[in-house]
Amino acid sequence: MKTIAIDLDDTLNNFEETLQKTVFRHDGAYGFSESIFEDYLARLRSHAPEDNEPLLSTEYSFFKYQIHHQCYQLATARPDGVEFMRGLKRDGWRIVICTYRDLRRANDCTRKWLHDNGIPFDQLFMAWNKIVFCRLWQIEYLVDDDAFNIIHGENYGVKVFYPALERHRDLPPNRARAFHSFDEIASWIQG
């Protein structure tokens, strides 16, 4: 059976646009002042690095999760991505959704979003290193927007396709393929 791994955020949806354009309101439920709320939101939108150790839970890391959780639910699916996924399923592909999302917290909302958008899939996994994940599962194709995977995937036998986004403009030379429409990927993986 042919298998493909596909990312969610900024691949099948418009997560970054949702994060940048959604009006998030301070309602007191966050447990800190409105000025701290605005500071945290500005840091999150500018992708400022966290000041803490990566595994420590802080007030900011919990805030980040809460905002991301809202974005997971509000993000719009790419219509061409939805059709691509349906076409894969019709053609007998095994579809593995492979995401950086913390599925311990976001599993239910992620599954609901996929269902509500009519996106078929066979498995849903959280993976920090998607190249290793694909190698272990013997998955030849990865559709993902992360620069690390774009740059290094092919070196480890994983063919990576990525949405042509502005932030990919300055990537170093690599053998991944940028796409503007999921229809392009469909033509690349046939045969």
Structural class in CATH, domain 3-13+76-189:
alpha beta
For residue 184, pLDDT beyond 80 = yes
Q: Is 16 left (phi over 0), alpha (psi -120 to 50) or beta?
A: alpha
Closest CA to 45 of 15, 72, 79, 74: 15
For 121, how many CA atoms within 13 A lie in the half-sphere containing its CB?
A: 25
Kindly report the number of other CB atoms within 10 A of residue 38's CB atom: 12
Mean pLDDT, the chain, integer = 94
- What sections of the chain are H helices per DSSP? 15-21, 34-45, 59-74, 79-90, 103-116, 130-136, 147-152, 182-189
In the chain, domain spans? 3-13+76-189, 15-74
For residue 132, pLDDT beyond 80 = yes
Residue 8 φ/ψ, nearest 5 degrees: -100, -65
Residues 51-95 have pLDDT tens digits of: 766 667 788 888 999 999 999 999 999 999 999 999 999 999 999
* Cα 2 to chain centroid, rounded: 22
Q: In a 3-state reduction of DSSP, which class is residue 182? A: helix
Distances (CA, A) of 160 to 115, 127, 157: 25, 16, 9
Residues 46-63 have pLDDT tens digits of: 998 877 666 677 888 889
Residues 164-176 have pLDDT tens digits of: 999 999 999 999 9
For residue 180, pLDDT beyond 80 = yes
Q: How do beta strands 94-99 and 3-6 pair?
A: parallel
Closest CA to 19 of 32, 30, 10: 10
Note the pLDDT of residue 59: 87
